[in-house]
Amino acid sequence: MTAMKLHGIFAPLTTPFESDGSVALGQVRNNVALYNKTKLAGYVPNGSTSESVLLLWEEVYDVWEAVRDAAAPEKILITGTGAESTAETIEHTNRAAKIGYAVALVRTPSFYKPSIDDHMLAEHYLRVADAARIPVMVYSVPVFTHVTVGASLIERVAHHPNIIGMKDSSGDMQGIAAIIAAARDAASEGGMAAVQIAAVAKRAGIAAGTVYRYFPGKTDLVAALLTEISEREVGAVRAAADVAPGPLSALSAAIMTFATRALRHRRLAYAAIAEPVEAELDAARLGARKALTGEFASLIAAAVAHLPEQDPALSAAALVGLLIEGLIGPLAPDATGRERAVVQSLALVALRALGVTDARARGLVVMTDNR
């Protein structure tokens, strides 16, 4: 079975009820029809948000069919199929596959808690994955099941080709942040090639299985790192622009901040924008570039009264391309050169491209040490 990669936001669907307690299937379809107008990647019926434990399985099947019938063709359908027994979970999973669902979300069994451990759970998930006709995701929701998905469990099941990920509803954001920070440190020293699960786990002081709990593989971890770098740099650019005295000064400050921060973190910046990576990471890089372009488009639009007539979105895309291409050489591991001169040159060229031909005379290109 070909490995599936999920990207985007998948909305957990609520289950509407009629006044007599039956499922309001018409309203299910109406809700999905409204969601089709959004950029959601897909839908997840029969999870905890759907009040799944209050439904008969025949009602669940009816909901699955209603969602399938109403969903736009491009929407990916994921659904909860977990039950207390392995055999019943397999039955529901393959029923979901027959109806047209792409992925099964399998919660942990929870009734016989004294007998539940990582070994038992691993056997459960591996047998389900072996028999399932669609990919499987581990679903950890300890607030309801009171069963914790441990690192040893994830480490054991993560290598099964039909187990593609995990929905972690434990709320452990600090654990994710620590892993991303360790990945960032690794990339700062050795580039994206150094972002390996075992190495990152060692830096974070945790087991490799804990990393797998949140990131099924290296590609997923690097994608999350690229997103974190993007958010951090966009935030820095915005902060620099916010304290500038005017719109042109804000634009200049944003350009110089981006270039300065890249040159002060050369290895990490080069890894993020230029180092060869797996093709699956192109989407994460494109997303980072779009986010930066959007920020510069806003700044250009704010300064439009002081610039020649232009399309802010188009100019921003060209500006980001200019900055990234202009930085690749200076960021290369064997590059030499003074940071100040590179930043000033890039800023002058970028502003001139936008129509500011006298940036130096206006005092717009001035280096400071707080970026």
> pLDDT digit string (tens) for 4-41?
778 889 999 999 999 999 999 999 999 999 999 999 99
Q: How far is CA 143 from the centre of its chain?
A: 24
Bridge partners, residue 140, by sequence: 168
The domain defined by 228-354 folds into Tetracycline Repressor; domain 2 (1.10.357)
Average pLDDT over residues 313-338: 88
Give residues with Cβ within 8 angstroms of 256, minimum separation 6: 240, 343, 347, 365, 367, 371
Token output for 107: 């919660």
User: Does residue 138 contact residue 166 with C-beta atoms inside 8 Å?
Assistant: yes
Query: Looking at the predicted structure, is the pLDDT value of residue 2 above 80?
Result: no
Asked if residues 170 and 142 have their Cβ atoms less than 8 Å apart, the reply is yes
Residue type present at position 45: P
**Mean pLDDT to the nearest integer, 199-205:** 91
Q: Within a 10 A sphere around the Cβ of 161, how many other Cβ atoms?
A: 10
Distance CA 337, CA 344 (A): 12
Encode the chain in three state secondary structure.
Answer: CCCCCCCCCEEECCCCECCCCCECHHHHHHHHHHHCCCCCCEEECCCHHHCHHHCCHHHHHHHHHHHHHHCCCCCEEEEECCCCCHHHHHHHHHHHHHHCCCEEEEECCCCCHHHCCHHHHHHHHHHHHHHCCCCEEEEECHHHHCCCCCHHHHHHHCCCCCEEEEEECCCCHHHHHHHHHHHHHHHHHHCHHHCCHHHHHHHHCCCHHHHHHHCCCHHHHHHHHHHHHHHHHHHHHHHHHHCCCCHHHHHHHHHHHHHHHHHHCHHHHHHHHCCCCCHHHHHHHHHHHHHHHHHHHHHHHHCHHHCCCCCHHHHHHHHHHHHHHHHHHHHCCCCCCCHHHHHHHHHHHHHHHHCCCCCCCCCCCCCCCCC
Q: Is 356 in contact with 307 (CB distance < 8 Å)?
A: yes
The domain ranges of the chain are 10-171, 228-354
pLDDT exceeds 70 at position 300: yes
Provide the annotated active-site residues: 167
| pLDDT above 90 coverage of the chain, percent | 67
Q: Is the pLDDT of residue 1 over 90?
A: no
pLDDT for the residue 289: 93
**Residue 2 burial (CB < 10 Å; 0-12/13-18/19+)?**
exposed
Position 370 scores a pLDDT of 40
> Who's near 279: CB < 8 A, 6+ residues apart?
none
CATH number of 10-171: 3.20.20.70
57-108 confidence digits (pLDDT tens): 999 999 999 999 999 999 999 999 999 999 999 999 999 999 999 999 999 9
Where residue 191 falls (left for φ over 0; alpha for ψ -120 to 50; beta otherwise) is left
User: pLDDT per residue over 253-271, tens digit each?
Assistant: 999 999 999 999 999 999 9
Closest to 159 in 3D by CA, of 193, 102, 197: 197
The burial class, CB within 10 Å (0-12 / 13-18 / 19+), for 87 is exposed
d(CA 22, CA 31): 17
